Amino acid sequence: MDARQNKLLAALPAPIMERLLPHLEPVRLILGQVLCESGGTQKHVYFPVSVIVSLLYVMEDGASAEIAVVGNDGMVGIALFMGGETSTNRALVQSAGYAFRLPVWLLKQEFERGGPLQHILLRYTQALITQMAQTAVCNRHHCIDQQLCRWLLLSLDRLTSNELVMTQELIANMLGVRREGVTEAAGHLQADGLIQYSRGHILVLDRPGLEARVCECYRVVKHEYTRLMANNCANAIK
């Protein structure tokens, strides 16, 4: 497994990667594993490679809703270099896989040097904030069918296959809706030949069909990430 399979790490200049590489530890993360809790401290930040991590806001009564999803496009632990020290959300493994973890002290040390790493991480943070804001708007104004399409497409963008292992109950927790609503929405997509759902496995059969059905929120998030990261990562390397 190569650390540069993570897009943030891949964008770093060679000298920075040489400093980080001895401290980047590959780890396997399992479905449902909690990487950090709201208000908790972390010893490591995580750079996903094949794993997908959901950032959840948890209410006092235990109810939760996903505010962002992180895959090989980013990292888990932005509060640690932004000066907040503790996270305001729970980081939960949505799809099992591998990631690289890095000690917090080393990331902070490198961030405080300024330069390319700081530039890239700040741009990524802006892209993540856009995703959080768009998720809030989507959950308020769009139907569950559209929310499910958005969630599926964001997940597919961070996977190497077109299959997700995910129960309807977990999807409902991610979207902050009732399980019955997810069952009905998944039934609509399956009836239209867009997905096949069986025993916690979702197989996407028609991605263009999902993209035609999804609300504007998916395109906004994807465009903003590309705008902020593609060109600016290239500029940072120069």
Which pLDDT does position 237 carry in this prediction? 40
Which pLDDT does position 234 carry in this prediction? 47
Which pLDDT does position 238 carry in this prediction? 43
pLDDT in tens, the chain (238 residues): 888 899 999 999 999 999 999 999 999 999 889 998 877 778 899 999 999 999 988 877 877 788 889 999 999 988 888 776 677 788 999 888 999 999 999 999 999 988 899 999 999 999 999 988 888 888 888 888 888 888 889 888 888 888 888 777 777 777 777 878 888 888 888 899 998 988 778 889 999 998 998 888 888 888 888 888 875 544 444 4
Please state the separation of Cα 76 from the chain's center in Å.
8
| Domain-wise residue ranges, the chain | 1-113, 140-217
Q: Which residues contact 105 (CB under 8 A, 6 or more apart)?
A: none
Question: Nearest to residue 111, comparing CAs of 86, 77, 88, 87?
Answer: 77
* pTM (two decimals): 0.86
Domain covering 140-217, topology = Arc Repressor Mutant, subunit A (1.10.10)
Indicate the CATH number for domain 1-113: 2.60.120.10
Question: Nearest to residue 24, comparing CAs of 48, 55, 54?
Answer: 48
End-to-end CA distance of the chain: 26
Which pLDDT does position 166 carry in this prediction? 76
Query: Distance (Å, rounded) from C-alpha 68 to C-alpha 151?
Result: 10
Which residue in this structure is represented by tokens 């997940």? 155
In single-letter form, the type of residue at position 20 comes to: L
Question: Nearest to residue 155, comparing CAs of 210, 216, 197?
Answer: 210
Which pLDDT does position 231 carry in this prediction? 57
